Amino acid sequence: MTGEDLILACSAIGAGLACIAGIGPGVGQGYAAGQAAAAVGRNPGAKGTITSTMLLGQAVAETTGLYGLAVAIILLFVKPLLW
């Protein structure tokens, strides 16, 4: 195994690990949506406030997954250590 092969293998492993970052936001957003639906069920008059707050929180939570995806793509397609 050459040094280039090792770098490519480690990049692939790192990209796979970076994709795991999508699990947390997925679970968190599902939980938040469920709680928001329950809150709207209890108080339908506050639907607009609950929905806007939930969507803002989900947008902030999604950035973690997007950063993981960006890191995975960079590791797979940009090879700065290979000359």
Residue-wise pLDDT for 41-68, tens only, equals 999 999 999 999 999 988 888 888 899 9
| Separation of first and last alpha carbons in the chain | 17
Q: Which domain holds residue 66?
A: 3-77
How many domains does the chain contain in total? 1
User: Where residue 13 sits, what CATH number does that domain have?
Assistant: 1.20.20.10
Pick the closest to residue 69 from 12, 15, 13, 28 (CA basis): 15
Return the sign of the alpha-carbon dihedral for residues 48, 50, 53, 57.
negative
- Segment 5-29 shows an average pLDDT of 88
Per-residue pLDDT of 25-34, as tens digits, reads 889 889 989 9
